[in-house]
């Protein structure tokens, strides 16, 4: 059962992501939710989701730090991370890539695009 983790400190964004990705429940995908960086890291280590949508600006620990931990410091294999951010500068993009992220999406995003991306990564058909 593939798992997707949603990590964002904004309740509305969490709801948006959940509602967008709910469609995948029929394909057997389980959704996990975290409200801050520390929680996100714990869940990743505990459940090892195949895909993580990680907001960059979070309290406790930023998305960059979580990504860095998961990808570099104490790698958890088989976890794809997509960073979501309100910033759009090249420097932020670079920071994301340096942290080891697989993809980088700027807000606001098109939920359709998000869904298609998730399906692609999990290897699910349309």
φ, ψ dihedrals at 75, nearest 5°: -60, 135
Contact between 28 and another protein by CB under 8 A: the answer reads no
* Region for residue 41 given its phi and psi (left: phi exceeds 0; alpha: psi -120 to 50; beta: otherwise): alpha
Contact between 125 and another protein by CB under 8 A: the answer reads no
In whole angstroms, how close is the CB of 111 to another protein at the nearest point? 5
| Choice from 27, 47, 110, 124 touching another protein (CB under 8 A) | 110
Show contacts with another protein in window 58-97 (CB under 8 A): 86-91
38: which 2 tokens? 């520390």
Contact between 112 and another protein by CB under 8 A: the answer reads yes
Closest CA relative to residue 29, chosen from 53, 5, 64, 7: 5
Instruction: Choose the binding region for another protein from 29-37, 72-80, 108-116, 117-125 (rule: CB under 8 A).
Output: 108-116
Q: Which residues bind another protein (CB under 8 A)?
A: 10, 12-13, 16, 19-20, 57, 86-91, 107-112
């Amino acid at each position: 059962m593939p798992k997707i983790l949603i990590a964002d400190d904004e309740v509305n964004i969490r709801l948006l992501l959940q509602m967008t990705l709910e469609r995948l429940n029929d394909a057997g995908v389980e959704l996990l939710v975290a409200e801050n960086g520390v929680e996100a890291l714990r869940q990743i280590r505990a459940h090892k989701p195949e895909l993580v949508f990680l907001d960059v600006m979070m309290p406790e620990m930023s998305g960059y730090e979580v990504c860095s931990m998961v990808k570099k410091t104490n790698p958890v294999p088989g976890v794809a991370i997509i960073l979501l951010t309100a910033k759009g500068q090249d420097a932020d993009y670079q920071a994301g890539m340096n942290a080891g992220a697989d993809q980088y999406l700027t807000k606001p995003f098109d939920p359709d695009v998000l869904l298609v991306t998730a399906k692609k990564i999990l290897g699910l058909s349309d």
